[in-house]
Amino acid sequence: MQGLMLKLLNVDAAGERALRVVAYFDQLGSNKPDFESVVRATALIADCPAGLQLPDRGLFVRFAPEGTMLGTGGRPSVRAPLATDSGEGGTVWLERDGDALELDEFIVERFALTASAVIDRERPNTEFELAHGFSDPALAQLLVNERASEAERSRAAQLMGLQAGSSVQLVALEPDADDELEDLPVRLRNQWLRPTYLAELSRHLILLVVVTREPIDWAPVDLKGRGASGPIVDVLDAPRSWTGAREALRFAGAGASWPRLLNADSLGVIQLLGKLDSAVVGAHPDVARIEHVAAAPNGAESILVLDHFLHADSVRAAAREVNYHHSSLQTRVKRIGELIGIDLTSASGRERAALALLLWRTFRSGT
């Protein structure tokens, strides 16, 4: 952006300079900035202090062109109101000593449009959404963004309906096509007896924020998909809980011995596996051979047989799970063992195969 500012100063045609201002703010807006970033960028391109005020939120932001935050004071030389879909009012301005420059009105207009877009993106939830536990995905993403400032996360939490100082547990949920999401927050509130907020980040990933001081209990929850909860944290520390939930989600439903819904703290030392380099894991011969078995004809069945054999209490129990005669199961397992190069008749071999299968599943999921 500083390079663009230098180009602006060296362009003679007013029309071309205006187009460069448009490009500057368009680029800024495409990066989903917060209010501080918008004000700081405006002060830079205008080469004078710039400010923004949202009375309804008690928000006042003012920056010098050098990028330093300023306190109250200053005298606006040109200002513009903010027009938002939500009807929230506010003002942006430039503070130029002396007469306004040629593009000041145009710059403050683009400033206002960009700031209005931030307001609409971070709009407060409606009373209906708050009552039913739904949250704006943009606010949820800001809440769990570890690069966001505490002030930004605090503002996002407030707009989502969360109180400052609350203890929360974040949940990463990968819903199944049969899961009903319309009343999910209400159902979870009734089951957990705790305030619960839902934000649908994508078709395959949902963020839940549960206000609680005790770990949630998955036992009463009826979901077809997979879910994992992170540690309990202060609301401003939400990114840490979200990271734990995302890492734990890799293990949810990872084979016959893993529940589809789990808490991160139930993983213990197994969490360390999720921190391995995916390229290193995928290239390991044991994991590569599991992949080879899975990709072969009837590969899904072979993986299922291996999984139940490794985790069932006995060969007969595993045979019942996959609807095999126990002698047929033993024959199939022996063939699989030869394919992956592991002696599945020994305890150490079974442990090695189980770890290879778990690594293959968790890194293959890419959650």
Q: Which H, E and C letters describe the chain, residue by residue?
A: CHHHHHHHHCCCCHHHHHHHHHHHHHHHHHCCCCHHHHHHHHHHHHCCCEEEEEHHHCEEEEECCCCCECCCCCCCCEEEECCCCCCCCCEEEECCCCCCCCCHHHHHHHHHHHHHHHHHHCCCCCHHHHHHCECCHHHHHHHCCCCCCHHHHHHHHHHHCCCCCCEEEEEEEECCCCCCCCCHHHHHHHHHCCCEEEEEEECCEEEEEEECCCCCCCCCCCCCCEEEEEEEEEHHHHHHHHHHHHHHHCCCCCCCCCCCEEEHHHCHHHHHHHHCCHHHHHHCHHHHHHHHHHHCCCHHHHHHHHHHHHHCCCHHHHHHHCCCCHHHHHHHHHHHHHHHCCCCCCHHHHHHHHHHHHHHHHHHHCC
Residue type, 101: L
The pLDDT of residue 128 is 42
So what's the pLDDT on residue 58? 63
Q: What is the pLDDT of residue 131?
A: 45
* pLDDT for position 195: 84
Nearest Cα to Cα of residue 363 among 263, 294, 262, 265: 294
Q: Which two tokens stand for residue 348?
A: 């150490």
Take residue 162 and report the two structure tokens written for it: 């969360």
> In the prediction, which pLDDT does 13 show?
61
Q: Could you tell me how many residues make up the chain?
A: 367
Q: 175-197: string of b/e by CB count within 10 Å (b at 16+)?
A: beeeeeeeebbebbbebbebbbb
- Tell me whether strands 196-202 and 261-263 are parallel, antiparallel or unpaired: unpaired
Q: Per residue of the chain (367 residues), what is the pLDDT tens digit?
A: 445 444 444 545 666 778 888 889 988 888 878 888 899 999 999 999 999 988 766 678 899 999 888 888 888 999 999 877 666 778 999 999 888 888 999 999 999 999 988 877 765 555 444 444 567 788 888 899 988 888 888 888 888 878 778 899 999 999 888 888 877 888 888 888 888 889 888 878 999 999 898 899 998 888 889 999 999 999 999 999 999 999 999 899 888 778 999 999 888 888 888 888 888 998 999 999 999 999 999 888 999 999 999 888 888 988 888 888 988 888 999 999 999 999 999 999 999 999 999 999 888 754 4
Distances in whole angstroms, Cα of residue 165 to Cα of each of 10, 81, 124, 310, 328: 50, 33, 19, 46, 59
pLDDT at 65: 93
